[in-house]
Amino acid sequence: MNKSDLIEALSKDQNISLSEAQIVINIILNAMTDALTAGENVEIRGFGSFTVRHYNSYTGRNPKTGKKVTIHPKKLPFFKVGKELREKVNEVHKN
């Protein structure tokens, strides 16, 4: 499922126009992005939580040339799946 599929699903489920559904999805995603950018965590009970992980610099290797390169410190978003979602996904494999 991609963003446009999500917009279409919301539109059908809530009987609203595609443009209204797009506005709602954009508001949610922008709020989540703003929170993560500000260093906050985003938790959606039953689904999972988003955090920002900090990585220090390290020496890596260019795979094409084999030359050593310095990888600068960075922050990356990380998703941890919630218990309910994990259980629901695994139910499919139990049957």
Q: What is the pLDDT of residues 7-56, one digit of tens each?
A: 999 999 999 999 999 999 999 999 999 999 999 999 999 999 999 999 99
The tokens for 90 are 């695994």
What is the pLDDT at residue 34? Answer: 97
CA distances 74 to 16, 38, 66, 79, Å, are 40, 15, 22, 16
- For 61-80, the pLDDT digits (tens) are 999 999 999 999 999 999 99
What is the pLDDT at residue 89? Answer: 92
| pTM for the full predicted model | 0.79
